[in-house]
Chain A
Amino acid sequence: MNTEKLIEALASDRETEMPPNRMLLAALLAGFVGAGLLFFSLLGPRGNFLDSLSSWRFVMKFVVSLTLALSAAILIARAMRPDARRLDTLLALAPLLLLGMVTAEVTNVPEAVWMPRLIGHNATACMVFIPLFSLAPLAALLLALRRSAPMAPVWAGALAGLAAAGLGAAFYAAHCPDDSPLFVAVWYTLAVTIVTGLGAVAGKRLLAW
Protein backbone atom coordinates (compact mmCIF):
# COMPACT_ATOMS: atom_id res chain seq x y z
CA MET A 1 0.00 0.00 0.00
CA ASN A 2 1.63 3.24 -0.99
CA THR A 3 1.95 6.35 1.08
CA GLU A 4 -0.47 8.43 -0.99
CA LYS A 5 -3.25 5.95 -0.21
CA LEU A 6 -2.47 6.14 3.47
CA ILE A 7 -2.55 9.94 3.33
CA GLU A 8 -6.01 9.69 1.71
CA ALA A 9 -7.23 7.67 4.67
CA LEU A 10 -5.61 9.96 7.24
CA ALA A 11 -6.99 13.12 5.65
CA SER A 12 -10.48 11.60 5.59
CA ASP A 13 -10.35 10.89 9.32
CA ARG A 14 -11.52 13.99 11.10
CA GLU A 15 -12.16 12.44 14.49
CA THR A 16 -9.80 13.97 17.02
CA GLU A 17 -9.27 13.58 20.71
CA MET A 18 -9.76 16.30 23.30
CA PRO A 19 -6.77 18.57 23.87
CA PRO A 20 -4.52 17.04 26.56
CA ASN A 21 -5.22 19.68 29.23
CA ARG A 22 -8.95 19.19 29.01
CA MET A 23 -8.51 15.41 29.02
CA LEU A 24 -6.37 15.69 32.15
CA LEU A 25 -8.95 17.84 33.95
CA ALA A 26 -11.68 15.37 33.04
CA ALA A 27 -9.55 12.50 34.35
CA LEU A 28 -8.80 14.29 37.62
CA LEU A 29 -12.46 15.09 38.10
CA ALA A 30 -13.57 11.53 37.31
CA GLY A 31 -10.89 10.13 39.58
CA PHE A 32 -11.82 12.51 42.38
CA VAL A 33 -15.48 11.56 42.15
CA GLY A 34 -14.67 7.85 41.96
CA ALA A 35 -12.37 7.98 44.97
CA GLY A 36 -14.87 10.13 46.87
CA LEU A 37 -17.74 7.71 46.28
CA LEU A 38 -15.63 4.82 47.48
CA PHE A 39 -14.46 6.80 50.50
CA PHE A 40 -17.95 7.83 51.61
CA SER A 41 -19.39 4.36 51.06
CA LEU A 42 -16.59 2.54 52.91
CA LEU A 43 -15.30 4.91 55.59
CA GLY A 44 -16.53 8.49 55.68
CA PRO A 45 -14.78 11.27 57.60
CA ARG A 46 -13.92 10.64 61.21
CA GLY A 47 -16.34 11.77 63.90
CA ASN A 48 -14.34 14.75 65.10
CA PHE A 49 -13.48 15.93 61.56
CA LEU A 50 -14.59 19.54 62.04
CA ASP A 51 -12.96 19.95 65.46
CA SER A 52 -9.74 18.50 64.04
CA LEU A 53 -9.48 21.30 61.51
CA SER A 54 -7.89 23.46 64.19
CA SER A 55 -4.97 21.02 64.49
CA TRP A 56 -2.03 21.79 62.21
CA ARG A 57 -1.08 18.10 62.11
CA PHE A 58 -4.50 17.18 60.74
CA VAL A 59 -4.61 19.99 58.19
CA MET A 60 -1.09 19.34 56.97
CA LYS A 61 -2.04 15.79 55.98
CA PHE A 62 -4.30 17.31 53.33
CA VAL A 63 -1.84 19.99 52.36
CA VAL A 64 0.98 17.53 51.70
CA SER A 65 -1.27 14.99 49.92
CA LEU A 66 -2.82 17.59 47.67
CA THR A 67 0.57 19.18 46.99
CA LEU A 68 1.73 15.79 45.76
CA ALA A 69 -1.40 15.35 43.62
CA LEU A 70 -1.14 18.82 42.13
CA SER A 71 2.57 18.76 41.37
CA ALA A 72 2.28 15.32 39.75
CA ALA A 73 -0.74 16.52 37.76
CA ILE A 74 1.25 19.48 36.41
CA LEU A 75 3.97 17.07 35.30
CA ILE A 76 1.37 14.81 33.70
CA ALA A 77 0.11 17.76 31.66
CA ARG A 78 3.66 18.07 30.33
CA ALA A 79 4.18 14.35 29.87
CA MET A 80 1.11 14.27 27.64
CA ARG A 81 2.81 16.42 25.01
CA PRO A 82 5.94 15.17 23.24
CA ASP A 83 7.47 18.63 22.87
CA ALA A 84 6.94 19.87 26.43
CA ARG A 85 9.92 20.45 28.70
CA ARG A 86 10.12 18.34 31.81
CA LEU A 87 9.97 20.01 35.19
CA ASP A 88 10.71 17.09 37.46
CA THR A 89 12.07 19.18 40.33
CA LEU A 90 8.47 20.11 41.10
CA LEU A 91 8.16 16.66 42.64
CA ALA A 92 10.46 17.75 45.46
CA LEU A 93 7.73 20.02 46.87
CA ALA A 94 5.72 17.40 48.75
CA PRO A 95 8.76 15.61 50.26
CA LEU A 96 10.21 18.96 51.39
CA LEU A 97 6.91 19.86 52.98
CA LEU A 98 6.82 16.49 54.70
CA LEU A 99 10.36 16.97 55.92
CA GLY A 100 9.37 20.31 57.43
CA MET A 101 6.38 18.69 59.16
CA VAL A 102 8.53 15.92 60.59
CA THR A 103 11.07 18.47 61.84
CA ALA A 104 8.30 20.44 63.54
CA GLU A 105 7.02 17.26 65.16
CA VAL A 106 10.33 16.00 66.53
CA THR A 107 11.23 19.42 67.89
CA ASN A 108 7.83 19.81 69.57
CA VAL A 109 7.19 16.43 71.21
CA PRO A 110 9.41 14.43 73.58
CA GLU A 111 11.43 11.61 72.17
CA ALA A 112 9.46 9.08 74.16
CA VAL A 113 6.35 9.55 71.98
CA TRP A 114 8.12 9.50 68.61
CA MET A 115 7.93 5.77 68.21
CA PRO A 116 4.31 5.33 69.41
CA ARG A 117 3.21 8.12 67.08
CA LEU A 118 5.13 6.63 64.17
CA ILE A 119 3.55 3.22 64.73
CA GLY A 120 0.13 4.85 65.13
CA HIS A 121 -3.19 3.09 65.55
CA ASN A 122 -3.89 1.58 62.22
CA ALA A 123 -1.06 1.42 59.73
CA THR A 124 -2.63 -1.57 57.96
CA ALA A 125 -5.79 0.35 57.15
CA CYS A 126 -3.64 3.15 55.75
CA MET A 127 -1.79 0.70 53.51
CA VAL A 128 -5.05 -0.79 52.26
CA PHE A 129 -7.27 2.25 51.84
CA ILE A 130 -4.84 4.70 50.24
CA PRO A 131 -4.12 2.32 47.34
CA LEU A 132 -7.82 1.45 47.15
CA PHE A 133 -8.90 5.10 46.90
CA SER A 134 -6.14 5.67 44.34
CA LEU A 135 -7.45 3.12 41.87
CA ALA A 136 -10.15 5.23 40.21
CA PRO A 137 -7.87 8.27 39.74
CA LEU A 138 -5.07 6.02 38.51
CA ALA A 139 -7.29 4.36 35.92
CA ALA A 140 -8.64 7.71 34.72
CA LEU A 141 -5.18 9.27 34.48
CA LEU A 142 -3.73 6.28 32.61
CA LEU A 143 -6.61 6.46 30.18
CA ALA A 144 -5.96 10.15 29.57
CA LEU A 145 -2.23 9.51 29.10
CA ARG A 146 -2.98 6.69 26.69
CA ARG A 147 -4.95 9.13 24.56
CA SER A 148 -2.03 11.56 24.47
CA ALA A 149 1.63 11.16 23.52
CA PRO A 150 3.86 10.37 26.51
CA MET A 151 7.49 9.94 25.45
CA ALA A 152 8.44 7.89 28.52
CA PRO A 153 5.70 5.37 29.33
CA VAL A 154 7.11 4.12 32.64
CA TRP A 155 7.72 7.64 33.91
CA ALA A 156 4.29 8.81 32.77
CA GLY A 157 2.69 5.83 34.52
CA ALA A 158 4.61 6.60 37.71
CA LEU A 159 3.40 10.21 37.57
CA ALA A 160 -0.17 8.95 37.23
CA GLY A 161 0.48 6.79 40.30
CA LEU A 162 1.81 9.74 42.29
CA ALA A 163 -1.10 12.01 41.42
CA ALA A 164 -3.62 9.24 42.10
CA ALA A 165 -1.99 8.37 45.42
CA GLY A 166 -2.05 12.04 46.42
CA LEU A 167 -5.82 12.10 45.89
CA GLY A 168 -6.28 8.73 47.59
CA ALA A 169 -4.21 9.87 50.56
CA ALA A 170 -6.18 13.12 50.88
CA PHE A 171 -9.43 11.14 51.17
CA TYR A 172 -8.01 8.62 53.59
CA ALA A 173 -6.55 11.43 55.72
CA ALA A 174 -10.10 12.57 56.51
CA HIS A 175 -10.79 9.25 58.21
CA CYS A 176 -7.37 8.22 59.53
CA PRO A 177 -7.03 8.75 63.31
CA ASP A 178 -3.25 9.20 63.08
CA ASP A 179 -2.20 12.78 62.46
CA SER A 180 1.46 12.76 63.44
CA PRO A 181 3.81 13.73 60.62
CA LEU A 182 5.91 10.76 61.74
CA PHE A 183 3.05 8.42 60.89
CA VAL A 184 2.41 10.19 57.59
CA ALA A 185 6.09 10.16 56.63
CA VAL A 186 6.31 6.39 57.05
CA TRP A 187 2.95 4.86 56.17
CA TYR A 188 1.50 7.35 53.72
CA THR A 189 4.83 7.38 51.91
CA LEU A 190 4.86 3.60 51.74
CA ALA A 191 1.31 3.54 50.38
CA VAL A 192 2.16 6.23 47.82
CA THR A 193 5.21 4.22 46.76
CA ILE A 194 3.07 1.14 46.15
CA VAL A 195 0.63 3.07 43.96
CA THR A 196 3.49 4.75 42.10
CA GLY A 197 5.05 1.36 41.36
CA LEU A 198 1.69 0.10 40.16
CA GLY A 199 1.40 3.13 37.89
CA ALA A 200 4.88 2.57 36.48
CA VAL A 201 4.17 -1.08 35.70
CA ALA A 202 0.83 -0.20 34.12
CA GLY A 203 2.49 2.61 32.19
CA LYS A 204 5.02 0.26 30.65
CA ARG A 205 2.22 -1.94 29.39
CA LEU A 206 -0.40 0.64 28.47
CA LEU A 207 1.34 3.84 27.46
CA ALA A 208 3.63 2.74 24.63
CA TRP A 209 2.59 4.11 21.25
Chain B
Amino acid sequence: MTPPNTSEAEWAALMRAGLMGDEAAYRKLLEQLAPALRGLARRRLAGTADIEDVVQEVLLAIHLKRHTWRTDQPFKPWLNAIARHKMIDVMRRRGRRGEVPIEGLEDVLPDDTVPAETSQGELFRLVARLDGKQLDVVRGVSLDGDSIAETAAKLGMSEGAVRVTLHRGLRRLASLYRGDAA
Protein backbone atom coordinates (compact mmCIF):
# COMPACT_ATOMS: atom_id res chain seq x y z
CA MET B 1 0.00 0.00 0.00
CA THR B 2 1.26 3.44 -0.93
CA PRO B 3 1.64 5.97 1.87
CA PRO B 4 -0.65 8.96 1.26
CA ASN B 5 1.79 11.55 0.00
CA THR B 6 4.08 9.60 -2.25
CA SER B 7 1.35 8.99 -4.77
CA GLU B 8 0.89 12.69 -5.62
CA ALA B 9 4.31 13.03 -7.22
CA GLU B 10 4.18 9.59 -8.76
CA TRP B 11 0.68 9.98 -10.18
CA ALA B 12 1.46 13.45 -11.52
CA ALA B 13 4.58 12.08 -13.24
CA LEU B 14 2.68 9.14 -14.71
CA MET B 15 -0.10 11.40 -15.95
CA ARG B 16 2.39 13.82 -17.50
CA ALA B 17 4.05 10.92 -19.31
CA GLY B 18 0.64 9.58 -20.31
CA LEU B 19 -0.40 12.90 -21.79
CA MET B 20 2.82 12.88 -23.81
CA GLY B 21 1.79 9.54 -25.29
CA ASP B 22 3.51 7.08 -22.94
CA GLU B 23 0.96 4.29 -22.96
CA ALA B 24 2.73 2.12 -20.36
CA ALA B 25 2.92 4.97 -17.85
CA TYR B 26 -0.70 5.81 -18.41
CA ARG B 27 -1.80 2.20 -17.96
CA LYS B 28 0.22 2.03 -14.75
CA LEU B 29 -1.50 5.18 -13.49
CA LEU B 30 -4.97 3.79 -14.19
CA GLU B 31 -4.02 0.52 -12.49
CA GLN B 32 -3.00 2.47 -9.38
CA LEU B 33 -6.05 4.71 -9.45
CA ALA B 34 -8.51 1.80 -9.61
CA PRO B 35 -7.92 0.51 -6.04
CA ALA B 36 -7.78 4.06 -4.67
CA LEU B 37 -11.11 4.87 -6.30
CA ARG B 38 -12.53 1.56 -5.11
CA GLY B 39 -11.67 2.51 -1.52
CA LEU B 40 -13.24 5.92 -1.94
CA ALA B 41 -16.38 4.55 -3.58
CA ARG B 42 -16.81 1.92 -0.87
CA ARG B 43 -16.57 4.61 1.76
CA ARG B 44 -19.01 7.00 0.12
CA LEU B 45 -21.44 4.88 -1.78
CA ALA B 46 -21.68 1.63 0.17
CA GLY B 47 -25.11 0.15 -0.34
CA THR B 48 -26.22 2.58 -3.04
CA ALA B 49 -24.46 1.30 -6.09
CA ASP B 50 -22.30 -1.48 -7.37
CA ILE B 51 -18.87 -0.25 -6.37
CA GLU B 52 -17.10 -1.57 -9.43
CA ASP B 53 -19.61 0.13 -11.76
CA VAL B 54 -18.77 3.43 -10.08
CA VAL B 55 -15.01 2.84 -10.25
CA GLN B 56 -15.31 2.16 -13.98
CA GLU B 57 -17.44 5.21 -14.63
CA VAL B 58 -14.97 7.44 -12.75
CA LEU B 59 -12.01 5.94 -14.61
CA LEU B 60 -13.76 6.66 -17.90
CA ALA B 61 -14.38 10.27 -16.83
CA ILE B 62 -10.75 10.70 -15.76
CA HIS B 63 -9.68 9.39 -19.13
CA LEU B 64 -11.99 11.57 -21.22
CA LYS B 65 -11.26 14.72 -19.21
CA ARG B 66 -7.53 14.22 -18.72
CA HIS B 67 -6.67 17.16 -21.00
CA THR B 68 -8.27 19.51 -18.44
CA TRP B 69 -5.52 18.78 -15.92
CA ARG B 70 -2.79 21.38 -16.16
CA THR B 71 0.52 19.61 -15.89
CA ASP B 72 2.00 22.37 -13.71
CA GLN B 73 -0.73 21.88 -11.10
CA PRO B 74 -0.99 19.21 -8.37
CA PHE B 75 -2.73 16.10 -9.65
CA LYS B 76 -4.80 15.02 -6.66
CA PRO B 77 -7.07 18.07 -6.36
CA TRP B 78 -7.99 17.55 -10.01
CA LEU B 79 -8.52 13.84 -9.46
CA ASN B 80 -10.62 14.42 -6.34
CA ALA B 81 -12.75 16.97 -8.16
CA ILE B 82 -13.49 14.52 -10.98
CA ALA B 83 -14.16 11.65 -8.57
CA ARG B 84 -16.44 13.77 -6.39
CA HIS B 85 -18.31 15.11 -9.41
CA LYS B 86 -18.98 11.64 -10.78
CA MET B 87 -19.87 10.09 -7.42
CA ILE B 88 -22.38 12.84 -6.66
CA ASP B 89 -23.77 12.20 -10.12
CA VAL B 90 -24.11 8.49 -9.37
CA MET B 91 -25.87 9.22 -6.06
CA ARG B 92 -28.24 11.61 -7.78
CA ARG B 93 -29.10 9.02 -10.39
CA ARG B 94 -29.71 6.45 -7.69
CA GLY B 95 -32.15 8.89 -6.16
CA ARG B 96 -30.14 9.79 -3.08
CA ARG B 97 -29.37 13.30 -2.00
CA GLY B 98 -25.81 14.08 -3.03
CA GLU B 99 -24.42 15.38 0.21
CA VAL B 100 -20.98 16.64 -0.71
CA PRO B 101 -18.50 14.20 0.77
CA ILE B 102 -15.56 15.99 2.26
CA GLU B 103 -12.88 13.35 2.16
CA GLY B 104 -10.65 12.97 -0.87
CA LEU B 105 -8.58 10.08 -2.08
CA GLU B 106 -5.81 10.87 0.38
CA ASP B 107 -8.17 10.24 3.29
CA VAL B 108 -9.21 6.71 2.47
CA LEU B 109 -7.25 3.51 2.23
CA PRO B 110 -7.00 1.99 -1.20
CA ASP B 111 -9.05 -1.14 -1.62
CA ASP B 112 -6.87 -3.74 -3.28
CA THR B 113 -9.40 -6.54 -3.22
CA VAL B 114 -9.81 -8.02 -6.63
CA PRO B 115 -13.37 -7.26 -7.66
CA ALA B 116 -15.61 -10.10 -8.64
CA GLU B 117 -15.91 -10.59 -12.38
CA THR B 118 -18.76 -8.24 -13.16
CA SER B 119 -19.70 -9.69 -16.49
CA GLN B 120 -23.21 -8.45 -15.93
CA GLY B 121 -22.03 -5.04 -14.76
CA GLU B 122 -23.24 -1.76 -16.09
CA LEU B 123 -20.28 -1.31 -18.42
CA PHE B 124 -20.90 -4.67 -20.04
CA ARG B 125 -24.50 -3.72 -20.75
CA LEU B 126 -23.54 -0.28 -22.04
CA VAL B 127 -20.80 -1.58 -24.35
CA ALA B 128 -23.41 -3.87 -25.87
CA ARG B 129 -25.44 -0.77 -26.75
CA LEU B 130 -22.65 0.75 -28.85
CA ASP B 131 -23.35 0.54 -32.51
CA GLY B 132 -21.52 -1.19 -35.35
CA LYS B 133 -17.87 -0.29 -35.62
CA GLN B 134 -17.69 1.28 -32.16
CA LEU B 135 -18.91 -1.96 -30.61
CA ASP B 136 -16.40 -4.05 -32.60
CA VAL B 137 -13.48 -1.77 -31.79
CA VAL B 138 -14.21 -1.29 -28.07
CA ARG B 139 -14.82 -5.03 -27.64
CA GLY B 140 -11.69 -5.92 -29.56
CA VAL B 141 -9.44 -3.58 -27.60
CA SER B 142 -10.95 -4.31 -24.18
CA LEU B 143 -12.49 -7.78 -23.96
CA ASP B 144 -10.24 -9.47 -26.52
CA GLY B 145 -7.20 -7.46 -25.36
CA ASP B 146 -6.12 -6.77 -28.95
CA SER B 147 -3.75 -3.95 -29.83
CA ILE B 148 -4.85 -1.16 -32.14
CA ALA B 149 -2.93 -2.81 -34.97
CA GLU B 150 -4.50 -6.23 -34.35
CA THR B 151 -7.96 -4.71 -34.19
CA ALA B 152 -7.33 -2.81 -37.41
CA ALA B 153 -6.24 -6.00 -39.16
CA LYS B 154 -9.20 -8.02 -37.85
CA LEU B 155 -11.77 -5.43 -38.84
CA GLY B 156 -10.14 -4.39 -42.11
CA MET B 157 -9.83 -0.78 -40.96
CA SER B 158 -6.87 1.57 -40.94
CA GLU B 159 -5.18 2.10 -37.57
CA GLY B 160 -6.14 5.75 -37.67
CA ALA B 161 -9.79 4.85 -38.17
CA VAL B 162 -9.60 2.36 -35.28
CA ARG B 163 -8.17 5.06 -33.00
CA VAL B 164 -10.87 7.56 -33.88
CA THR B 165 -13.60 4.95 -33.54
CA LEU B 166 -12.26 3.83 -30.16
CA HIS B 167 -12.25 7.39 -28.87
CA ARG B 168 -15.77 8.05 -30.12
CA GLY B 169 -16.94 4.77 -28.63
CA LEU B 170 -15.54 5.72 -25.22
CA ARG B 171 -17.17 9.14 -25.38
CA ARG B 172 -20.43 7.48 -26.33
CA LEU B 173 -20.09 5.14 -23.35
CA ALA B 174 -19.75 8.12 -21.02
CA SER B 175 -23.00 9.56 -22.35
CA LEU B 176 -24.74 6.19 -22.07
CA TYR B 177 -23.78 6.13 -18.37
CA ARG B 178 -25.66 9.38 -17.93
CA GLY B 179 -28.67 7.79 -19.57
CA ASP B 180 -28.58 9.89 -22.70
CA ALA B 181 -30.64 8.12 -25.31
CA ALA B 182 -29.16 9.85 -28.32
Interface residues of A (CB under 8 A from B): 1-20, 80-83, 148-149, 151, 208-209
Contact = CB atoms under 8 A, between A and B. Distances in A.
A13 B26 CA distance: 10
28 contacts: A1-B56, A1-B118, A1-B142, A2-B118, A3-B52, A5-B143, A6-B56, A6-B59, A6-B123, A6-B142, A7-B30, A7-B59, A8-B145, A9-B166, A10-B30, A11-B23, A12-B23, A12-B147, A13-B170, A16-B19, A16-B67, A20-B67, A81-B69, A82-B85, A83-B78, A149-B65, A149-B82, A208-B89
A204 to B, nearest CB: 13
A82 B23 contact: no
Interface of B: 19, 21, 23, 26-27, 30-31, 34, 52, 55-56, 59-61, 63-70, 73, 77-78, 81-82, 85, 89, 115, 117-119, 121, 123-124, 127, 138, 141-143, 145, 147-148, 163-164, 166-167, 170, 174, 178
A151 B85 contact: yes
Contacts of B67: 16-20, 148
A98 to B, nearest CB: 33
A13 B143 contact: no
A14 B23 contact: yes
A141 to B, nearest CB: 16
A80 B163 contact: no
A169 to B, nearest CB: 29
Contacts of B78: 81-83
B68 A149 contact: yes
A146 to B, nearest CB: 11
A108 B16 CA distance: 58
A14 B115 CA distance: 27
A1 to B, nearest CB: 4
Contacts of B64: 209
A12 B30 CA distance: 12
Contacts of A4: 31
Residue from B55, B56, B66 having most chain A Cβ neighbours under 10 A: B56
Contacts of A9: 138, 141-142, 166, 170
A14 B166 CA distance: 9
Nearest to B81: A82
A19 B59 CA distance: 19
A83 B65 CA distance: 12
A151 B98 CA distance: 14
A17 to B, nearest CB: 5
Given A15-B163, A19-B67, A209-B178, A10 B81 contact: no
A1 B124 CA distance: 5
Given A11-B27, A149-B82, A209-B178, A3 B56 contact: yes
Nearest to B145: A8
Contact of B163 (A14, A19, A81, A208): A14
A19 B73 CA distance: 14
A2 B120 CA distance: 10
Contacts of B56: 1, 3, 6
A7 B34 contact: yes
A67 B74 CA distance: 31
Contacts of B26: 10-11
Nearest to A7: B30
B100 to A, nearest CB: 11
A5 to B, nearest CB: 4
A159 to B, nearest CB: 16
B164 A15 contact: yes
